[in-house]
Amino acid sequence: MSTNPTGLLELSPVLPVVVIEDAEHAVPVAEALLAGGIRAIELTLRTPVAPAAIERVAKEVPGIVVGAGTVTGERDARLAAEAGAGFLVTPGSTDALLDAVAGTGLPFLPGVATVSEAMLLAERGLTELKFFPAEASGGVGFLRSIAGPLPDLRFCPTGGVTADTAADYLALPNVGCVGGTWLTPKAALAAGDFARVEALARDALRGAVAAG
C-alpha cells in the first residue's frame, strides 16, 4: 500500500471529528474551523447527509482538507471518494476494509486499539494509525508504553479525547495529532453558533502549541 505513511498527521495538530446533521451547516462549520486555524476536518459518515456535507466542503472551502470518518466498508469508501473526500479514517481494521480504502487511492488512517492490531498494520506498511477508542483502550498510558517496542508507529488518538486531555496526548513522541468532537459541540451546531466553533478551534491550537 502506497497511501500510508500519508502526512495526514502533519496537516493539523488537532483534527476535529464532526457529525453533521444538517448539510447546510457543513460549509459554515468548516469556515469557522479554518478561521480558527484548523487545516483539516473529519466529517463522519454517521448521518444520511454526510456525503453531501463532504462534497460541499470540498468544493466551497478549499483552504481545509476534508476527510471522511467512520468508514466501515467498501460502500462507505466509495461514497466518500465520490463526494470528494481528501482522506479516509476507519474506526477499526479488517482485511476487506483495508483493501477497500486502499482501492480508492486516497490516503487513510486505519483504526487500531491493540498492540497486535498495530503490528499487523505495520506488516502491511501502514505506520500512521488512528488509536480508537483512545480513552477506553488505555489512553495516554497505553501509547506511552508502546512507544519503545513500536518506535516507527505514529498515532492520532480519537475517542474520549477532550480539551483537557489533548495536550497530554500531544506531548507523547508517537502522537502526531489528536482527534475529537469537542471543537464542534452538538448544541453549538444546532444553534448555528459558529463563532463558538471558531473560538474552540483557536483554543485547541493554542493548547497544541503549548504541548509541543
Residue 4 pLDDT:
64
Q: Quote the DSSP letter at residue 158.
A: B
Per-residue pLDDT at 2 exceeds 50: no
Burial of 212 (0-12, 13-18, 19+ CB in 10 A): exposed
Residue 138 lies in a domain: yes
Instruction: Determine, yes or no, domain membership for 212.
Output: no
CATH number for 180? 3.20.20.70
pTM: 0.95
Structural domain total, the chain? 1
Identify the pLDDT of residue 210: 75
| Joined grid coordinates for residue 15 | 483534527
Full residue range of the structural domain in which residue 71 is found: 8-205
Q: Is residue 174 part of a domain?
A: yes
What average pLDDT is seen over the chain?
95
Residue among 31, 42, 128, 135 flagged as catalytic: 42
Please check whether residue 210 lies inside any domain of the structure.
no
Catalytic residue among 31, 128, 130, 198: 130
- Write the pLDDT tens digit of every residue in 105-115: 999 999 999 99
Percent of the chain with pLDDT over 70: 97
**Is 186 part of the annotated catalytic residue set?**
no
User: Residue 1: pLDDT above 70?
Assistant: no
Residue 211, domain member (yes or no): no
Verify whether residue 82 is a known catalytic residue.
no
